[in-house]
Amino acid sequence: MLAVLLLVPGCSSPGAPGGSAARDVQRTLDRRAAAVVDRDEAAYLAPIDPRADGLRAAERREFANLAQVPLRSWTYRLTGFDRTDKGRATARVELSYRLDGFDSAPVKATEKLDLTRRDGRWYVAAESPGETGGQDGGAARQLWEQGRVTAVRGTHSLVLGVGQSERRLRGIANAADRAVPAVDRAWQGRWARRLVLLVPSSVDGMASLLGGPTAGYRGIAAVTTGEAGGSGAASADRVIVNPDAYAVLGTFGQQIVLAHESAHVATRAHTSAATPLWLSEGFADWVAYRGTGRTAEEAAPELARAVRGRDLPAALPADKAFGFGGDSDALARAYEGGWLACGLIAEEWGEERLTAFYRAVGGHAQREGAVEKAMQEELGTTPEDFTVRWREYLRERLG
């Protein structure tokens, strides 16, 4: 497919390139885009070089894989065109697409095409990923490039899976449908109140969707990502489920995971580069555990072990503590520490102050000074004083 990158910004070249050849290619791409929406396989394959048998076979499979994906729109924009010789050219293309009923604005992806001219027409001879990488800097792939997609709709959710039974996808949709109202009760603010969840066949497929190494996602049950790198007012968040890790969780654990990821979707417009991970991840966990009756010791076992072992953290978790692929116990303590920091704010200042604090931090223009200013204005305290209170809170709740 021309859709290679998942939920990342496209090429930023201003406008379409000029020239009659470029205009011919754009018209071809327009017809191909219409073929995707109209489910016209012959029209979709028409621009493929007749001599590129392997590419044609791959494109036919991927077109079939898209059959159940509910597309509202699908467009291509030529952002670069370079003639390499009389009968060959290279094109840079931006794909924009929307899922019907879920995307408020297009998701964008980029692709590089090798073109060849035969009998007065331009054909696609080869495709490769665009310059923009995935979440972790690699070349991400779309779900439908991994196999035939099965779609299941819930009340508040759309679950797209590859290599998964409809029954399993229905279970995930049901859990997501329970998560959305739970998040809505905790987050005072406008958000889409609907989720798109992608379920690949394995953790390898998850890593491929995110453009990162498989090792970085083992044991991670789900990840939320959004257009434009997952910060700011993203229009098309996706919850990507690791089927291997998710499957070993019990019903309660699965519900916590999807509520956590749903909270990320709800708060996306108020999450920015100024938001520390202890706050964004801690708030998502606070929302997920809210009202479940779980004690601090039950929800934060690794941090409880550390506190009882007189290894009380000296400071709130740094962003680097949340990195995947490292020490799993340290990662758990980071999440647990963030959760308890948000719990402290909700308990001492109130839930409305917690959400106001979250918004205030995310609304800051830069990381420097964001937490300090928000704590002063919303909580009437300082980071130093808050850290002292947080450490004492850990002793009380976990000691």
DSSP 215-273: GGGTT--EEEE-GGGG-SS-S--EEEE-HHHHHTS-HHHHHHHHHHHHHHHHHGGG--T
CA distance 173 to 102: 14
DSSP-derived 3-state class of residue 45: helix
CA dihedral in degrees (222, 224, 229, 230; nearest 10)?
Answer: -150
Scanning the structure block, which residue is given the tokens 């790198």?
Answer: 229
Maximum Cα–Cα distance for the chain, whole Å? Answer: 79
Residues in the chain: 399
DSSP-derived 3-state class of residue 333: helix
Contact between 339 and 169 under an 8 Å Cβ cutoff? The reply is no
User: What is the residue type of 374?
Assistant: A
CATH class of 272-399: mainly alpha
pLDDT tens sequence for the chain (399 residues): 333 323 332 233 334 576 889 999 999 999 999 999 999 999 999 999 999 999 999 999 999 999 999 999 999 999 999 998 888 999 999 999 999 999 988 888 888 999 999 988 999 999 886 655 455 555 577 899 999 999 999 999 999 999 999 999 999 999 999 999 999 999 988 898 999 999 999 999 999 988 888 988 888 999 998 633 333 344 578 999 999 999 999 999 999 999 999 999 999 999 999 999 999 999 999 999 999 999 999 999 999 999 999 999 999 999 999 987 668 899 999 999 999 999 999 999 999 999 999 999 999 999 999 999 999 999 999 999 999 999 999 999 998
Sign of CA dihedral 105, 131, 204, 271: negative
pLDDT reported for residue 379: 98
| Backbone φ and ψ of 287, nearest 5° | -60, -45
pLDDT reported for residue 257: 97
CA distance 388 to 315: 9
pLDDT reported for residue 105: 82
pLDDT reported for residue 303: 97
**Model confidence, pTM:** 0.88
Sign of CA dihedral 296, 297, 302, 307: positive
* Strand ranges in the chain using DSSP code E only, listed in sequence order: 71-85, 88-99, 107-118, 121-129, 149-153, 157-162, 195-199, 222-225, 238-241
CATH number corresponding to 139-262 = 3.30.2010.30
DSSP 272-314: -TTS-HHHHHHHHHHHHHTTS---HHHH-HHHHHHHHTT---S
Residue 78 buriedness (CB in 10 A; 0-12 / 13-18 / 19+): buried
What pairing do the DSSP bridges indicate for beta strands 195-199 and 157-162? parallel
Structure tokens at 61: 């499979």
Q: Where are the domains of the chain?
A: 20-132, 139-262, 272-399
| Backbone φ and ψ of 55, nearest 5° | -65, -40
CA distance 382 to 399: 25
pLDDT reported for residue 229: 34
CATH number corresponding to 20-132 = 3.10.450.50
Sign of CA dihedral 57, 58, 63, 65: positive
pLDDT reported for residue 106: 86
Contact between 286 and 207 under an 8 Å Cβ cutoff? The reply is no
Scanning the structure block, which residue is given the tokens 């394959």?
Answer: 45
Structure tokens at 286: 């606070």
pLDDT reported for residue 36: 96
